[in-house]
Amino acid sequence: MWALEDDPVLRSSFANVTVTDQPVDFERFRDRMALTVRRVRRLRQRVVEPPGFAAPRWADDPMFDLQFHVRHVSLPAPGTDRQLLDFAAMASIDQFDRARPLWQFLVVDGLADGRGAIVQKLHHTIADGEAGVRMSTNFLDLERDARKPLVGDEPDPDDAPTGRSGFSPVDAMRRPLGMARRAMVETVSAVADPFGTPARAGDAIESVRSVVRQVAVTSPACSPLWAHRSLRRHLETLTLEVEKVKQAATKLGGSVNDLFVTGAVAGAGAYHRAKGADVEQLRMAMPVSTRREGNDGPNAFTPTRMLVPVGDIDPVVRFEAVRDAIGGARGERAVSIFPSLAGVLHALPPQVLLKAARQQVGTVDFTTSNVRGAPFDVYVAGARIVANYPIGPMAGTAFNLTTLSLAGRLDMGLCVDLAAVDDADLLRACIVDAYEELLDAAGVSPG
C-alpha cells in the first residue's frame, strides 16, 4: 500500500466523519490523543525510505508534533451537513506529508443545531477498519463525563527507541533479496499446502486456479458508464436500523453483510438503468477479513473481487446470488495465500508494481466494505457520538460504499469519483430504494 502511494488514484487513505450531539471539547480531546499516541507507537512513527532497493521501514519521528496531527477547525455559517461532508471528502483525498506520521484528526465546530464533528484520517499502512475501531478505544468513553479512559495510561509495551533508521549499501541489497526468497518459499508452501495438511496434486492445482481467479483478471471493468477516473470526490451518507437489517437478512437466509452488499449491487444496477445503460453484471471488490482471535495486527484482510448480478431481477433472487458470490469469495484458497504473495509483490520494482496495480483496479467497477463498531452509545471528549460515516479508500474504482455499525445504526459513507459517477444524488437514491425493496421483500417495514 505504501508503494502504490506514488499513484494518486491508488492511494489507500481512509477516513471517518464522526458527528456528535454537541461540540467536542478540543483541549480534552487533544489530551486524550496525547495518551493514545503514547499507547499506540505507530501513531508517532513515520515511514523511512532508504536508498537502493531496501524495503521502507517504520521509525520514530524525532520531530513529532501532536498539534500538527490534531487540529481545530470551524465551518463557515450556516454549518450544514453538506458543508461538513464536502470538507471531509476534500480532506480524505489530500496526500499525507511523507516526512510525518500518516494520520490526522480534525475537530470541527460550527455545525448547525449545536452539533460537533471529528474528521479522522489514517493511511491504510497504519490500520485497517477493524484495527482502527480498536485503536479508538484509547480516546472513547462510555459516559459523557468519564474521568478515566477505557484503557490505562501506561505506554505501549514496546516503547524503546526504534534505533537507527538508515541502511548500509549491504542492507540495501540483502533485505529485498532475502524478503523475496522467503516470500517465494512461503508462497510455494501455501499453494501446495494452504491449510497445513499433506499436499495433494489436486489441492495445489485448485490453489493455483484460485489465485488466477483473483489476480489474473485482465478483462476491463463492466460498466459502460464508469470508464473515467479522477481525484474529484463527493460524499453522500445513508443509515439503516441494525435490527431491521438483521431481521430481513435472517428471513432471506443470509447475514447483515449479505444484505448490505446486495443493496449496493442493486443500487448500482438501478443507476445504470436510470441512465439508459442496462447492464447484467458488474465487478465488485470487497475486502475479506483474515483476522483471527488474538490477532491485534494493524492489517488483516485480503482483497477479493467478484462478478455480481445487477440486472432487473427479483430482489430475493439477487440476494441469494450475491450471498453465494460472497461465500465463494470467502472460500477461495487465494485468501490464505495472499499474505505470502504480498511479500513477492513487495520485492517488485515500484514501476512494475504500479503498472500491475493500475491494470488490476481497471477491472473493478465499485467497492464495498463492512466494519463493526460498538453496539452501544459511546462518547468522545464530553460529546455523544450520534453518527459515524466511513470514507473507504477508492482504490481506482467508481465508488466505495462502506458501513460502520454503532448503537443500533448502520451508518454508510458513499464516496464517489465524480469523473465516473456524474450524479451522486441519483446513485444514493437508487441504493436507498434498493434497501427498502430488500426489507419489503423480507416482510420488514422500512419505515
What integer is the mean pLDDT of 134-148?
86
What pLDDT does residue 333 have? 52
Of 68, 117, 115, which Cα lies nearest the Cα of 96? 68
CB 340 within 8 A of CB 190: yes
* Three-class HEC string of 78-99: CCCHHHHHHHHHHHHHCCCCCC
Residues 6+ apart with CB under 8 A from 421: 225, 226, 234, 271, 398, 399, 427
Position 181 pLDDT exceeds 60: no
Q: How far is the CA of 93 from the CAs of 4, 157, 208, 391, in angstroms?
A: 14, 33, 36, 10
Position 161 pLDDT exceeds 50: no
pLDDT, mean over the chain: 81
Bridging pattern class, strands 116-123 and 13-20: antiparallel
What pLDDT does residue 278 have? 86
Q: How far is the CA of 283 from the CAs of 218, 310, 366, 368, in angstroms?
A: 12, 10, 7, 11
Q: How confident is the model at residue 155 (pLDDT cuts 50, 70, 90)?
A: low
**Taking the CA of residue 166 as centre, how many other CA atoms within 13 Å lie in the half-sphere pointing to its CB?**
2
Question: Which residues form the catalytic set?
Answer: 124
- Bridge partners of 390, per DSSP, are 16
The mean-pLDDT minimum among 64-68, 179-183, 345-349 falls in: 179-183
Cell, residue 165: 533508521
pLDDT digits (tens, 9 = 90+) for 377-416: 999 999 999 999 999 988 889 999 999 999 999 999 999 9
Q: How confident is the model at residue 176 (pLDDT cuts 50, 70, 90)?
A: very low
The mean-pLDDT minimum among 28-32, 53-57, 356-360, 388-392 falls in: 356-360
More confident residue, 57 or 346: 57
More confident residue, 7 or 267: 267
Percent of the chain with pLDDT over 90: 55
What pLDDT does residue 165 have? 36
What pLDDT does residue 255 have? 96
Q: How confident is the model at residue 160 (pLDDT cuts 50, 70, 90)?
A: very low
Peptide bond into 155 cis (omega under 30): no
> Could you identify the residue written with the cell 517465494?
184
